Structure 1
Amino acid sequence: MASLQGAASFKPRYTYIERPYVMHTLVVVSVLILAPCSLGLSSLCDLSDADLRLGGWKVVVDENFAGGELNASLWTGRYSNYTAGHENEAQSYVPGNARIQDGKLVISTKKEKFLNKNYTSAWIDTSGKFEALYGRFCVRANLPGKQPGFWPAHWLMPGRGHEKLCWPGPGEVDIMEMINGDGVVHGSLHYNAMFPETHQCSSPHMSTTGVLPYLSLDQYNTTFHEYAIEWSSESLTYYVDGVKYVSTYPNDRDKDGVPQVPMYIIINSALGGGWAGPPNQDTHFPILHTVDYVRVLQSSGEGKSRAHFTGTTGVDEQAFAPFTQRQADVLHDRAAKRAQ
């Protein structure tokens, strides 16, 4: 493993924030500024199977996006216009905007009208097909440069039996979010402070966010970087290119918020919304979010650790478009023809 050169500082900061919909939210911001020469470090997910076995790890998902189509045994592409409850985003999600090209997943965000929205993008997830409890989740991706309003994400949500609970319920784990292509990585944990004692929507929503800025924004859109979490029964630790930048430890306030239910994987690109803000004249389409691989490792030392392929979905299907895939395909084809 390469040495960590050029590390400028590591400064944890703690700030309490009050919002109308968030009670007693503690945002933990840990900033690790890295010089360009520190990028490209070896990652646990890059090790050989033999080396992983020596360290007590096993590979449970090794998705390299081989072949010409998305692996339907692992992934589902979703249709949705997300008109309510999802940050008031500007896009409709269309499976056709996620394609396999040269051994990589490419999610395209386009300026085109569909389902009463002016933009389309893609959301894929493993709900109903793969869930895991604990492990190391790695996504190696190439993100675009400065794009106002753009919001790519790699994240985890609770699976079967929890899809109807008020968010965040047992928890949401955001492996990576980057807003507007500003070069800042956000890794977050959201949870219901009173779960599982109560599932009420009015329960306090707690969140912890780690922020990792690089010195050069161009590093994100010129090369691939691996965004990862290591999740145990007691903590969550966030990494970029094998470098840890924030963690919830067993003695932290957030120890009780570490999810204890199996979760599925989501990869998507959103546009607009309250956090990213609207696209503008400086937003250039199409915007590409390219993923090289998705890997999940699990440790034999974690007694509760398990990964399984499921038979039923954990997604709340009512949150997605209330029509068949065939109907959606027809609508999208018509929209594409009108745009020509």
Structure 2
Amino acid sequence: MERARLSALFATACLGSAALALPAHAQAPVWEENFDGPSIDGDNWTYDVGNGCQIGLCGWGNSELQYYTSRPENARIENGHLVIEARREDFGGMPYTSARMKTEGRMHFKYGTLEARIKIPEVGNGLWPAYWMLGVAGVWPARGEIDLMEAGSAQAIAEGVVNRRVGAAVHWDYQGSQADYGADYTSAVDLDDDYHVYRMDWTPQYIRVSIDGQQYFDFDISNPDASSTHEFHAQQYLLLNLAVGGAYTGIFSPDGITAPVPGRMEVDYIRLYQDVAGSELYVGADSATPPGRFGVYSEQAGLAGHLDYNGEANLYLWNNLTPISAQPFEGGQVMAFRAGAGAWYGLGVANDVRNMGNYAGGWLKFRMRTTTATTFKIGINTSFGDSWVDFVNGGNNYGLVRDGQWHEVSIPFSAFYDLDLNAVKQMFMVVADPPGESVEFFIDDVYYQSP
């Protein structure tokens, strides 16, 4: 679902796709979503909003025709079921609206049995419901993708079975190139007439997918060195969405959409069971960072916590930065760099996903000294993508004075656009367009301050 799949699937990794009956699981339940509250639970779900252009994926990488919103018109709870509704309405420059929900920063897991009871819409020609997963870390396809249920494919439309066929697939990085494997299941009845149980069994040896107990997808991950499938031995999070048009459907214009709209994808429940050795589960609501001062790049005393650069976090120099010698503001470490003229420069502190929800309403604080008059940006990356604050000479510099002396910079989190503090993936970033002359800057004592 992240990108249009290749027409030639990477079939050599498949163990077989015969429809086999699966035994009932005997694992322990570890997480479930029954959609029995009055509204969608923010501890479990957040949204991708827009047409994808805001993260450099216009049409969400698939030439899709909808604008995703977080409005109740597109995603809501009705009678103990989640409803994701695609509507024909002009919104945000797109001809349709819908919703794309995800558990990123809320629930991730590695290995287990995942079941969902879902009723797909009448997909007709043009609707594309999906229940799928993405890796927490990495850049697609190297983060890995597992599609547990998709419907509405161009091939199913061509064969006249579009409302009876669903598919499962995996996408990953095979020795530097995108690799794909998929299999389809064609039902004897229309799948939009009732709910059906979609199940994945994920172990260190395989990924298997079934519908109503009939297995039709089997993928071997037992030798990740040979098959380059390391992505499928790391945590992933869930996504639910209802797309309109796009590469999967083969329909790229509103004129080609003949599926009835509004179209509704309904989910009764999702349940996760685990007992496999090596299983992992991250629940954001149980992992919130305590309030106070959290050290991003700080050696001060009295912190509520701090990033561990021996495993949890790394400082990456992206481009055009040369370390230089300088006296730290505090402690023994300092970010001290020179950027040459004529090329953009940037750096970022990448970290394991952090729930910093207790810091909403607070501030990003750091010490900085520089004399450059050029514009630069300070950013944070969360489940919503990058969010930046501009530092323009003569504008709001949040306490920075460009006189070559140390100054405390204090940026309220409210100054960042579209920030999801429940899922912070890069806690501090700096970037700038090519300067006209070389730039030196020094940054130290970076921390988050709760209200």
TM-score between the two structures when normalised by the length of structure 1: 0.72
Aligned to 2:229: 257
| Aligned: 1:187 with 2:165 | no
Aligned residue for 1:273? 246
Match of 2:277 in 1: 303
- Tell me what 2:43 maps to: 73
Tell me the number of residue pairs that the alignment of Structure 1 and Structure 2 aligns: 272
Partner of 2:362: none
Whether the aligned pair in 2 keeps the contact of 1:155 and 1:174 (CA below 8 Å) is yes
Go from structure 1 to structure 2 and tell me whether the alpha carbon gap of 1:281 and 1:192 turns closer, same or farther (over 3 Å shift). closer
User: Secondary structure of the residue that 1:95 maps to in structure 2?
Assistant: coil
Matches of 1:156 and 1:242 in 2, distance apart? 20
Counterpart position of 2:141: 168
Matched, 1:125 2:109: no
Residue type matched to 2:129 in 1?
P
Tell me if 1:243 matches 2:214. yes
1:157, distance to aligned residue in structure 2 (A): 0.6
Contact map agreement 2:204 2:222 (CA 8 A) in 1: no
1:42–1:275 Cα change, 3 Å: closer
Please tell me whether the aligned partners of residues 110 and 119 of structure 1 are also in contact (alpha carbons under 8 angstroms). yes
- Alpha-carbon distance in 1 for matches of 2:235, 2:417: 29
Is structure 2 residue 69 aligned with structure 1 residue 94? Answer: yes
Match of 1:158 among 135, 138, 149: 135
- CA deviations 1:127-152 (Å, max 9, x no partner) are 01110011111111011224211111
5+ long unaligned stretches in structure 2: 154-161, 285-353, 356-380, 388-415, 420-451
Cα shift at 1:43: 7.7
Percent identity reads 24
1:299-319, Cα deviation, whole Å (9 max, x unpaired) = 2xx221021113448735249
Query: 290, 305, 309: which one pairs with 2:266?
Result: 290
1:283 Cα deviation from its structure 2 partner = 2.3
Which residue in 1 is equivalent to 2:89?
112
Residue 26 (str. 1) matches residue 10 (str. 2): yes
CA contact (8 A) 1:127 1:314 kept: no
Aligned to 1:205: 178
Partner of 1:141: 118
- After superposition, what is the alpha-carbon deviation per residue over 1:53-81, rounded to whole angstroms, capped at 9, x for unaligned? xx3x1111111100210011111123121
Q: Which has the higher helix share?
A: 1
Out of 250-259 and 306-315, give the one that drifted further: 250-259
- Indicate conservation of the 8 Å contact 1:135/1:232, yes or no: yes
User: Cα–Cα, structure 1 residues 118 and 178, in superposed 2: closer, same or farther, change >3 Å?
Assistant: same
TM-superposed deviation, 1:251? 6.8
Q: From the CA coordinates, give the structure whose radius of gyration is larger.
A: 2
Q: Secondary structure at the match of 2:67?
A: strand
RMSD between aligned alpha carbons? 3.0
Picking from 223, 243, 250, the partner of 2:194 is 223
Structure 1 distance, partners of 2:233, 2:125, is 36
Highest relative contact order (Cα 8 Å, sep 6+), 1 or 2?
1
Structure 1 residues 271 and 209: alpha-carbon distance in aligned structure 2, compared to 1, 3 A threshold: same
Identify the residue that residue 317 of structure 1 maps to in structure 2.
385
Quickly say closer, same or farther: Cα 1:251–1:221, change in 2 above 3 A: same
Displacement of 1:32 in angstroms is 5.1
Relative to 1, partners in 2 of residues 1:275 and 1:60: Cα closer, same or farther, differing over 3 Å? same
Q: Contact 2:15/2:220 (CA < 8 Å) preserved in 1?
A: no
| Aligned-partner residue type, residue 94 of structure 1 | T
Report the counterpart of residue 335 of structure 1 in structure 2: none
- 1-structure distance, mates of 2:100, 2:277: 32
For 1:59, the equivalent position in structure 2 comes to 29
**Corresponding residue for 2:335?**
none
Task: Note if contact 2:116-2:268 (Cα within 8 Å) is conserved in structure 1.
Answer: yes
* Cα 1:314/1:30, change in 2 over 3 Å: farther
SS in 1 for 2:267: strand
